[in-house]
């Protein structure tokens, strides 16, 4: 046991791999570090000991936040020097026989290794904190009325009702009003927010949370908790000395923590309150939460339950390790293979040892693995996945799929199990002519038609009771969750969608079209995302509280595309008119939509592009564009019109595309020249380039056909030069449910993820380090579902 640390590169290896490192590098001297674990002595709390503190911060694994599983063990360290290939052991206190110079160098290296911060310690420094807030844009220009109001240090009451808790001081006019009413009837009577709607005064501070260190400040205009660097000055305007104030009420973070612990969704999805049977062995390895990393844990547990990913990374482990670069910590294949081995070998999925004997943890919590190097590598350079903030599991799934694409290139690609072709049909309503295009996708995004809920009467009754309770200031009734049939979601997916301002090449003018989406191929594994997360009328992200009874077996054969039919007439393939240098007329952009997006925190140039590329179609279309293109390398670059060379643009069509983007398109089966052309035509935007290449595939085919070498027939040239397109697997559209990932919480930016996977005809729940047989898998509350094709 233990770990062998190379005294030259400081890379660590297990016993089975240290010899391979020696053979590959010739490095002979290693520090062997072994820790022997023993149970901590029971510390029975006496009556005088303080009780365990409740969480006070919306954070995980940091001071005041939610605790990670408590460490139950103490460790004894054993250190020695090992010389390879002889495996000669030299105890740390046995260096006296060496030359002084050698002894000093080895001793210094040992000291440096033993005192260095580990990767886990460096992760702790970046531990996630859900309370990070931005400075309000009103903080430095807040208007404060000279109305003579002075606020006493205590004894506050809402000026419009009798509430004495959850009170907010408006920092413009000094009004003291109660806060919002929560879904369960607690909170206030909405008087503070109603005052904002009447006056437009944006900032309020929660009375009872003011201390010398700060206070809860809310911006109604920005609809978020914010920071006010001038808080002391703003409070002093109303006679409040924050240095003398003490905390007397719960902060908003404390209230949110309490709420999260009460929401029934958490209990259902985690199967709390039931004694679940712990599972151990290959394929039942838990993953430690590295600080809000449950989204990553859930996704990789599912992926490494799929044979193609096992074959690619686990079965070829030795070959991958042999071909790894000198620094394997930065090699994608090495880190993915290491992760897969950790999950599937069974070496890290064992009951805890106690006095040399294995003891079952009745809660199913095991040591598991901590994939810190993997998380660091896949998140490197990404504005979100490089942090310890909560993320959307669907976005991480696509991010990881994209990294696999980049690193597979011409080799075996496990992504093929998910890849399918989408057929989009556009029908011009003025001419009845049609246009067919195909594009690659990996996820079927299923809309949720709330109007199709089966329990409409109960929902209406609940809304009425809720309204009455709010009027009478009574606790709200028990929450009623909408029950939407899965068939209604499928019908909504397949229904035609109206496209306004569609450029019809048949008319050579704008028209209205109907867009119909179908499958051009069916993948081996169908990934379905339930579109639970949406935006309200005020553009605040929200989650639909909905139950959808997902079928164990699914047949989507009816959604297979048909292609151009004999009775249909295709639109002519003519490019729409573009703005050229001879027509430098700037487009008229809807400034109100741009302002709305900018106020949500997006860059001005990105907002201008969103409005331009969606043809002034409104805030919703522009917001969708922003959300779809946030990862583009040119996302925040100035808008450059087609054919122009606008100043200030850092990425223009004259700049070479990135090799990563080229490699991604080439991995789909296209040639390098075609990838370069697509990227240049879309200003080096990878996502738009993929759309472009599929919508111009006929043009690419024609160009390839013209490139005929002398002495060869056109047929020979075309067959050799035109790629087959992206490699997809096709088959029957009949599937069975294989796994699903569930989310608990109010938005993708907070909460918790777990996954359920069907193994050996039984459901298993993976909740970070906890792996157990599932008793009641909540299949109706999932977020991402994985279906496996039923063999014909």
CATH assignment at residue 678: 1.10.8.10
180 is known to lie in a ligand binding site? yes
87 is known to lie in a ligand binding site? no
Residue 608 CA to residue 594 CA, distance in Å, equals 6
Q: With bands split at pLDDT 50, 70 and 90, how would you rate the model's confidence at 520?
A: very high
Q: With bands split at pLDDT 50, 70 and 90, how would you rate the model's confidence at 159?
A: very high
Residues 297, 254, single domain; the answer is: no
Residue 639 included in any domain: no
Q: With bands split at pLDDT 50, 70 and 90, how would you rate the model's confidence at 525?
A: very high
Residues 346, 378, single domain; the answer is: yes
Residues 408, 270, single domain; the answer is: yes
Q: Which of 747, 735, 783, 745 is nearest to 298 (CA)?
A: 783
Residue 484 included in any domain: no
Residues 344, 368, single domain; the answer is: yes
- Kindly state the average pLDDT of the residues 451-459: 93
Residues 96, 237, single domain; the answer is: no
Q: With bands split at pLDDT 50, 70 and 90, how would you rate the model's confidence at 405?
A: confident
The SS3 assignment for 244 reads: helix
Residue 140 included in any domain: no
**pLDDT, tens digit, 9 for 90 and up, residues 46-71:** 444 555 555 555 454 445 554 544 55
* Two structure tokens written together for 149: 């109001």
* Two structure tokens written together for 642: 């087609």
pLDDT at 237 over 70: yes
Per-residue pLDDT at 716? 37
Burial class (CB in 10 A: 0-12, 13-18, 19+), 592: exposed
Domain closes at, from 237, 259, 281: 259
CATH code, domain with 737: 3.90.70.10
Residue 348 included in any domain: yes
* pTM score, whole prediction: 0.66
182 is known to lie in a ligand binding site? yes
What is the domain range of residue 400? 264-353+363-417+733-789
Residue 205 CA to residue 171 CA, distance in Å, equals 7
CATH code, domain with 192: 3.30.40.10
Residues 612, 693, single domain; the answer is: no
Residue 629 CA to residue 292 CA, distance in Å, equals 25
Residues 297, 388, single domain; the answer is: yes
The SS3 assignment for 225 reads: strand
Q: With bands split at pLDDT 50, 70 and 90, how would you rate the model's confidence at 583?
A: very low
Residue 693 CA to residue 673 CA, distance in Å, equals 11
**pLDDT, tens digit, 9 for 90 and up, residues 125-151:** 333 444 457 889 999 999 999 999 999
Residue 451 included in any domain: no
Per-residue pLDDT at 224? 82
Greatest mean pLDDT range, 30-44, 323-337, 706-720: 323-337
Residues 245, 329, single domain; the answer is: no
Helix and strand numbers, DSSP H then E, in the chain = 23, 28
Residue 177 included in any domain: yes
Task: For the chain, give the percent of residues with pLDDT over 70.
Answer: 76
User: Active-site residue among 32, 234, 294, 607?
Assistant: 294
Q: With bands split at pLDDT 50, 70 and 90, how would you rate the model's confidence at 9?
A: confident
220 is known to lie in a ligand binding site? yes
- Kindly state the average pLDDT of the residues 155-161: 93
- Kindly state the average pLDDT of the residues 189-204: 93
Per-residue pLDDT at 167? 95
Q: Strands 352-354 and 752-759: what pairing?
A: unpaired
* Two structure tokens written together for 52: 């365990």
Per-residue pLDDT at 126? 39
Diameter of the chain measured on Cα atoms: 97
First to last CA, the chain: 47
> Domain count of the chain?
5
Half-sphere exposure of 429 (CA within 13 A, CB side): 13
Q: Is 399 a catalytic residue?
A: no
Residue 422 CA to residue 559 CA, distance in Å, equals 10
The SS3 assignment for 374 reads: helix
Half-sphere exposure of 285 (CA within 13 A, CB side): 22
Look over the chain and give the mean of its residue pLDDT values, rounded to a whole number: 80
168 is known to lie in a ligand binding site? yes
List the single range of 131-140, 422-431, 512-521 with lowest mean pLDDT: 131-140
Q: In what order do the strands lie in the sheet with 420-428?
A: 434-441, 420-428, 509-519, 497-504
Q: Is 752 a catalytic residue?
A: yes
Residue 172 included in any domain: yes
766 is known to lie in a ligand binding site? no
pLDDT at 765 over 70: yes
**pLDDT, tens digit, 9 for 90 and up, residues 249-294:** 877 766 665 554 444 455 666 776 677 899 999 999 999 988 788 9
Q: Which residue has the higher pLDDT, 360 or 532?
A: 532
218 is known to lie in a ligand binding site? yes
Domain closes at, from 224, 259, 294: 259
Residues 89, 233, single domain; the answer is: no
Which contiguous run of DSSP H or E holds residue 515?
A: strand 509-519
Per-residue pLDDT at 363? 58
Q: Which of 449, 568, 437 is nearest to 515 (CA)?
A: 437
408 is known to lie in a ligand binding site? no
Per-residue pLDDT at 580? 43
Residues 30, 75, single domain; the answer is: yes
Residues 211, 268, single domain; the answer is: no
**pLDDT, tens digit, 9 for 90 and up, residues 562-574:** 999 999 999 998 8
User: Active-site residue among 138, 237, 629, 752?
Assistant: 752
Q: Which residue has the higher pLDDT, 336 or 717?
A: 336
Residue 620 included in any domain: yes
Residues 288, 395, single domain; the answer is: yes
Q: Are 426 and 517 in contact (CB under 8 A)?
A: no
Phi and psi for 49 in degrees, rounded to 5?
-70, 145
């Amino acid at each position: 046991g233990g770990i062998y640390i190379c005294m030259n590169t400081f890379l660590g290896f297990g016993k089975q791999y240290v010899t391979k490192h020696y053979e590959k590098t010739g490095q002979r001297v290693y520090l062997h570090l072994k820790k022997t674990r023993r149970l901590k002595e029971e510390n029975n709390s006496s009556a005088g000991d303080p009780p365990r503190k409740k969480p006070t911060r919306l954070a995980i694994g940091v001071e005041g936040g939610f605790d990670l599983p408590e460490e139950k063990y103490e460790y004894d360290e054993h250190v020695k020097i090992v010389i390879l290939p002889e495996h000669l052991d030299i105890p740390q206190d046995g260096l006296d026989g060496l030359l002084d110079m050698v002894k000093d160098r080895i001793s210094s290296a040992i000291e440096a290794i033993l005192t260095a911060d580990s990767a886990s310690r460096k992760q702790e420094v970046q531990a996630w904190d859900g309370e990070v807030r931005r400075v309000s844009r009103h903080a430095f220009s807040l208007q404060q009325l000279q109305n003579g109001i002075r606020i006493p240090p205590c004894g506050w009451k809402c000026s419009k009702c009798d509430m004495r808790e959850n009170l907010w001081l408006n920092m413009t006019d000094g009004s003291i009003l109660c806060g919002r009413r929560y879904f369960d009837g607690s909170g206030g009577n909405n008087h503070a927010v109603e005052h904002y709607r009447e006056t437009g005064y944006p900032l309020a501070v929660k009375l009872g949370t003011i201390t010398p260190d700060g206070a809860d400040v809310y911006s109604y205009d920005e609809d978020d908790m914010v920071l006010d660097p001038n808080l002391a000055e703003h409070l002093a305007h109303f006679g409040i000395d924050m240095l003398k104030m003490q905390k007397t009420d719960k902060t908003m973070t404390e209230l949110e923590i309490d709420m999260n612990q009460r929401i029934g969704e958490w209990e259902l999805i985690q199967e709390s309150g039931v004694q679940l049977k712990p599972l151990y062995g290959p394929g039942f390895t838990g993953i430690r939460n590295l600080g809000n990393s449950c989204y990553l844990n859930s996704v990789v547990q599912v992926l490494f339950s799929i044979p193609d990913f096992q074959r690619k990374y686990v079965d070829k482990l030795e070959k991958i390790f042999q071909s790894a670069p000198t620094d394997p910590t930065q090699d994608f294949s090495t880190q993915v293979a290491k992760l897969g081995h950790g999950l599937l070998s069974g070496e890290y999925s064992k009951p805890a040892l106690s006095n040399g004997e294995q003891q079952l943890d009745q809660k199913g919590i095991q040591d598991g693995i901590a994939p810190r190097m993997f998380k660091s590598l896949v998140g490197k350079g990404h504005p979100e996945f490089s942090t310890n903030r909560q993320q959307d599991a669907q976005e991480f799934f696509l991010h990881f799929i994209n990294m696999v694409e980049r690193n597979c290139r011409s080799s075996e690609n496990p992504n093929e199990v998910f890849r399918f072709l989408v057929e989009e049909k556009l029908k011009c309503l003025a001419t009845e002519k049609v246009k067919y295009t195909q594009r690659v996708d990996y996820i079927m995004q299923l809309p949720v038609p709330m109007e199709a809920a089966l329990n409409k009467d109960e929902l209406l009754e609940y809304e009425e009771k809720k309204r009455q309770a709010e009027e009478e200031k009574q606790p709200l009734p028990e929450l009623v969750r909408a029950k939407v049939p899965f068939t209604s979601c499928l019908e909504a997916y397949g229904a035609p969608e109206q496209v306004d301002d569609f450029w019809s090449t048949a008319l050579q003018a704008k028209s209205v079209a109907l867009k119909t989406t179908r499958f051009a191929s069916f993948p081996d594994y169908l990934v379905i995302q339930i579109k639970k997360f949406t935006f309200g009328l005020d553009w605040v992200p929200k989650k639909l509280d909905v139950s959808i009874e997902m079928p164990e077996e699914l047949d989507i054969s009816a959604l297979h595309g048909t292609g151009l039919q004999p009775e249909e007439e295709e639109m002519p393939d003519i490019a729409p008119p573009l703005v050229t240098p001879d027509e430098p007329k700037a487009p008229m952009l809807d400034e109100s939509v741009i302002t709305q997006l900018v106020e949500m925190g997006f860059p001005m140039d990105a907002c201008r592009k969103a409005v331009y590329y969606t043809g002034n179609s409104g805030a919703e279309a522009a917001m969708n564009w922003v959300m779809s293109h946030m990862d583009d390398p040119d996302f925040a670059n100035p808008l450059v019109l087609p054919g122009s060379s606008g100043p200030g643009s850092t990425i223009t069509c004259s700049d070479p595309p990135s090799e990563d983007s080229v490699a991604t398109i080439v991995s789909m089966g296209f040639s390098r020249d075609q990838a370069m052309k697509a990227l240049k035509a879309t200003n080096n935007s990878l996502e738009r380039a993929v759309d472009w290449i599929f919508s111009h595939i006929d043009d690419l085919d024609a160009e390839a056909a013209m490139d005929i070498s002398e002495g060869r027939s056109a047929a020979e040239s075309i067959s050799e030069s035109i790629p087959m397109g992206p490699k997809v697997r096709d088959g029957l559209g009949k599937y069975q449910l294989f796994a699903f990932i569930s989310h608990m919480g109010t938005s993708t930016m907070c909460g918790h993820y777990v996954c359920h996977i069907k193994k050996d005809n039984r459901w298993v729940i993976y909740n970070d380090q906890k792996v157990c047989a599932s008793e009641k898998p909540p299949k109706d509350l999932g977020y991402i579902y994985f279906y496996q094709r039923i063999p014909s």
